[in-house]
């Protein structure tokens, strides 16, 4: 079973592996590593994030699972971001490096996909209901605020005559929540 220690030791192992295959200057120098609670709901699971400062974050969703293949793949993915540079995003250059490293690491695509199913199931079990918060401006425009796990009185009881909030210079008239679509196929994976 994967523990925080497993994630840390595997990250060191993958870093060494990446440095061996790409010994010359990386676009972003790796600085630090962190296990974090990353975004996770019905619509989106973030397994990892690479930052401009060289920090790599890995989602704590891996802890307690046996999703070794997916974890390894996420680590290769994040280190590929540092090698090619974050502004390259997921372009063809990024994909070439990622696929090259995955190939050298003998990654098993079927095993990764199976792990992703397990992780999706875990994400849905932990946070079964996600709400979307919207704001309506006095001019009638509506804008998405963000995803939330529960309703807050701050928004449901919002009264513009008591406290008038503004966003980008527009006065907010009211807030409302909608429930996330329950269709799991809409769920995307980001790393």
74 token code pair: 């996420």
Q: What is the rounded CA–CA span in Å between residue 37 and residue 106?
A: 28
Q: How far is the CB of 142 from Zn ion (least distance, A)?
A: 30
Q: Is 153 helix (H, G, I), strand (E, B) or coil?
A: helix
Q: How far is CA 111 from the centre of its chain?
A: 20
Question: For the chain, how long is the longest CA-to-CA vector?
Answer: 63
Binding mask 132-171 for Zn ion (x = CB under 5 A): ----------------------------------------
Binding mask 73-102 for Zn ion (x = CB under 5 A): ------------------------------
Q: How far is the CB of 95 from Zn ion (least distance, A)?
A: 10
How many residues touch Zn ion (CB under 5 A)?
1
Residue nearer to Zn ion on the CB measure, 44 or 170 = 44
Q: How far is the CB of 66 from Zn ion (least distance, A)?
A: 23
Q: What is the rounded CA–CA span in Å between residue 161 and residue 27?
A: 52
Residue nearer to Zn ion on the CB measure, 130 or 191 = 191
Q: How far is the CB of 140 from Zn ion (least distance, A)?
A: 37
Contact 77, 59 (CB under 8 A): no
Contact 83, 19 (CB under 8 A): no
Q: How far is the CB of 23 from Zn ion (least distance, A)?
A: 23
Residue nearer to Zn ion on the CB measure, 116 or 175 = 116
Q: What is the rounded CA–CA span in Å between residue 11 and residue 122?
A: 22
Element containing residue 8 per DSSP (H, E): helix 4-21
Which residues, numbered 172-191, are part of the site for Zn ion (CB under 5 A)?
Answer: 191
Q: What is the rounded CA–CA span in Å between residue 189 and residue 67?
A: 15
Q: How far is the CB of 77 from Zn ion (least distance, A)?
A: 6
Residue nearer to Zn ion on the CB measure, 48 or 124 = 48
Residue nearer to Zn ion on the CB measure, 47 or 175 = 47
Residue nearer to Zn ion on the CB measure, 25 or 188 = 188
Q: What is the rounded CA–CA span in Å between residue 163 and residue 175?
A: 13
What residues are paired with 55 via a beta bridge?
A: 32
By beta carbon distance, the residue nearest Zn ion is: 191
Q: Which residues sit at the interface with Zn ion, rule CB under 5 A?
A: 191
């Amino acid at each position: 079973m994967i523990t925080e220690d497993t994630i840390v030791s595997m990250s060191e192992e993958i870093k060494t592996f990446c440095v061996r295959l790409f010994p010359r200057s990386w676009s972003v120098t790796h600085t630090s590593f962190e296990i974090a609670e990353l975004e996770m709901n019905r619509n989106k699971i973030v397994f990892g994030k690479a930052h401009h400062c060289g920090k790599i974050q890995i989602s704590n969703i891996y802890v307690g699972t046996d999703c070794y293949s997916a974890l390894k793949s996420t680590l290769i993915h994040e280190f590929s971001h540092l090698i090619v540079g974050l502004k390259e995003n997921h372009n063809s250059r990024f994909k070439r490096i990622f696929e090259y490293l995955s190939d050298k690491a003998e990654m098993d695509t079927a095993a990764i996909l199976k792990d992703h199913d397990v992780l999706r199931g875990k994400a849905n079990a932990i946070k079964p209901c996600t709400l979307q918060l919207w704001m309506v401006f006095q001019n009638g425009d509506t804008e998405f605020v963000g995803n939330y796990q529960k309703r807050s009185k701050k928004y449901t009881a919002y009264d513009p005559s008591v406290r008038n909030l503004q966003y980008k210079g527009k006065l907010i008239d009211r807030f409302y929540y909608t429930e996330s679509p329950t269709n799991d196929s809409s769920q995307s994976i980001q790393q």
